Structure 1
Amino acid sequence: MELFAVADLPEIRPGDDLAALIRDRVDLDEDDVVCVASTVVSKAEGRLADLSAFPAGPRAREIAARLESISGDEKDPRFAQAVLEESTEIIMEAPFLLTESRFGHVSVNAGIDRSNVAGADLLLLPKRPSESAARIREELPADRVIVTDTCGRPFRHGQRGVAIGWAGMPASRDWRGESDRDGRELGVTVQNVVDELAAAANLVAGEGDGGTPVVVVRGFEFGDHAGSDAHFREVEGDFVRQALREWEFESN
């Protein structure tokens, strides 16, 4: 399997044809997987916003005040309001905002970015990333597209690439019912391939001002396995989320 970044992409602006910009810079094969950073998808879709668009309500002011008291850093209640409006659930309010987005992704601050946002205060995640991936896929020779983001994960230090939207392939491949090397039947193994490809692409894309937002994965084979679009864990079986709902932060 080979991964390489698409070079020389310009700064993406609202209304840009992202698929055309990719297509003009790389010769794609049908079986390629094109991994596109959510930042450029959001920019092309006009998901930039100013804090003035989110006048803070009582709950946002309360959340900002509490976070400010915990961290000692000034917190803008308008940012808290933006997080509230971009979320379907606030799982944790302190010592940071952990939320579920409107398409099911759990992350800090609803995935709202405040870096690399020229001309605006905020960059919101795409509204429906899998639909974004499908639109890009329609205009590319490659048959598979993943929209990626970077975020922290429980029990791990640092950030990693994850998939927040995909098109043209299942999210997971299911090994249940197949055998291990000793002939024992696998009973629980479901491999989240879109997350694994997003993480691999993030190694090539990089971070900071030297980052590249589009990476092509060439030579990935899904194999003869059952596939599933199950990606975000259902709340009923998400015991960590259920525990966090009952947990209350206490500052020392």
Structure 2
Amino acid sequence: MHTFAVSGLPEVDAGDDLAALVSERADLTDGDIVCVASTVVSKAEGRTAALDDFPAGPRAREIAGHLADVTGEEKDPRFAQAVLEESTEVVMEAPFLLTEATCGHVGVNAGIDRSNTGGDDLLLLPERPSESAERIRAGLDADVGVVVTDTSGRPFRHGQRGVALGWAGLPASRDWRGETDRDGHELEVTVEAVVDELAAAANLVSGEGDGGTPVVVVRDFEFGDHAGSENLFREVSGDFVRQALRGWEFDAGH
């Protein structure tokens, strides 16, 4: 398996055909996995916004005031309003906003970006990333998989890494349950989040900042003879970390 960035992509604007832009610059082969940063997907889908599009309501003003008290930094209540409107649940309000975005991804600030926005105030996540991945896949000139990627932090670790928001043309996970290890023991819980691993591999190549390479091709990846699964985001009933956070309140004194 190897990865390479698609070079020469222009700045993406609303209405641009991402599949055509990629096809013109990459000689794709059947079986490739095309990883596309959510930033350019959002730009093509017109998911940019101004802060003034989100006049702050009472809850947003309360959250912004609380965050300002906790962090010692002024917080714009319009941004808090944008996060609320782009979320289905606020998991944690301080010392930062941790929410479930409308697409199911749990992350800081509903994944709203304030960098690489193309001159707008905010860049919102794609509304339905797997549908976005399917549209891109349908427009490419080879039988490939597509993963829409983003970067986010990780519990218990410093730093960010690539994750999948949506995918098409491949399962989300490799299910190893029922197979055996080298000692003949049956695997009971191992489900490998393949689309996240592909997103992380792509992020190593595309990088962060001003690199301008938001599309990465993964070639010669083999899923193997395993069962596939579409499950990536945990159901709340089995997400014990989220359940614990729901009952937790931030104490600035500890």
Q: TM-score, normalised to structure 1's length? A: 0.99
Report whether the alignment pairs 1:68 with 2:72: no
Report whether the alignment pairs 1:174 with 2:178: no
In structure 1, the residue matched to 2:209 is 208
In structure 1, the residue matched to 2:220 is 219
Which stretches in structure 2 are left out of the alignment for 5+ residues?
Answer: none
Would you identify which runs of 4 or more consecutive aligned residues in structure 1 move more than 3 Å?
none
Matches within 5 A, 1:10-89: 10-89=10-89
Structure-1 separation of matches of 2:221 and 2:127: 28
Structure-1 separation of matches of 2:201 and 2:39: 17
Structure-2 separation of matches of 1:116 and 1:239: 34
Structure-1 separation of matches of 2:239 and 2:170: 25
Structure-2 separation of matches of 1:226 and 1:116: 38
Matched position secondary structure for 2:70: helix
Q: Report the alpha carbon displacement of residue 142 of structure 1 after superposing the two structures with TM.
A: 3.7
Q: Report the alpha carbon displacement of residue 230 of structure 1 after superposing the two structures with TM.
A: 0.2
CA contact (8 A) 2:65 2:75 kept: yes
Q: Report the alpha carbon displacement of residue 97 of structure 1 after superposing the two structures with TM.
A: 0.2
Residue correspondences, number = 252
In structure 2, the residue matched to 1:152 is 153
Q: Report the alpha carbon displacement of residue 211 of structure 1 after superposing the two structures with TM.
A: 4.2
CA contact (8 A) 1:34 1:142 kept: no
Per-residue CA deviations over 1:132-162 (Å, capped at 9, x if unaligned) read 0000000111420000000001111100000
Structure-1 separation of matches of 2:143 and 2:123: 27
In structure 1, the residue matched to 2:188 is 187
CA contact (8 A) 2:164 2:199 kept: yes
Matches within 5 A, 1:122-161: 122-140=122-140, 141-161=142-162
RMSD of aligned residue pairs (Cα, Å): 0.7
In structure 1, the residue matched to 2:164 is 163
Structure-1 separation of matches of 2:164 and 2:102: 15
Q: Report the alpha carbon displacement of residue 50 of structure 1 after superposing the two structures with TM.
A: 0.2
Q: Report the alpha carbon displacement of residue 192 of structure 1 after superposing the two structures with TM.
A: 0.5
Q: TM-score, normalised to structure 2's length? A: 0.98
Identity of aligned residues (%): 75
Matched position secondary structure for 2:69: helix
Structure-2 separation of matches of 1:94 and 1:186: 39
Structure-2 separation of matches of 1:104 and 1:32: 26
CA contact (8 A) 2:177 2:191 kept: yes
